[in-house]
Amino acid sequence: MASISRIRRVLAGRLDAIGGLRVSATVPGSITPPAAAILPGLGPESSTSRLAVEYDKSFRGGSHKMHFLVKLAVSAAHDESGQEVLDAYLDSEGALSVKAAVESGLEALVHEGDVVAEYAQVPGVSHYGVISWGGVEYFGADLLVEVLAR
pLDDT greater than 70 at residue 121: yes
Most confident segment among 41-45, 49-53, 97-101, 113-117: 97-101
pLDDT greater than 60 at residue 49: no
**For residues 41 and 46, what is the distance between their CA atoms, to the nearest angstrom?**
9
pLDDT greater than 50 at residue 95: yes
Secondary structure of residue 92 in the 3-state scheme = coil
**For residues 145 and 30, what is the distance between their CA atoms, to the nearest angstrom?**
23
**What's the whole-number mean pLDDT along residues 115-137?**
89
Q: What's the mean pLDDT when you consider all of the chain?
A: 85
Whole-number pLDDT of residue 46: 46
- Of residues 136 and 46, more confidently modeled: 136
pLDDT greater than 50 at residue 51: yes
Whole-number pLDDT of residue 107: 76
Q: What angle do CA 93, 123, 94 make, to 5 degrees?
A: 5
**What's the whole-number mean pLDDT along residues 53-79?**
78
**For residues 137 and 40, what is the distance between their CA atoms, to the nearest angstrom?**
22
Sign of the torsion angle spanned by Cα atoms 89, 90, 95, 100? positive
Give residue 45's pLDDT band: very low, low, confident or very high (50, 70, 90). very low
Cβ burial 65-84 (10 Å sphere, 16+ → b, else e): bbbbbbbbbbbbeeeeebee
Whole-number pLDDT of residue 119: 80
| End-to-end CA separation in angstroms for the chain | 6
Whole-number pLDDT of residue 66: 86
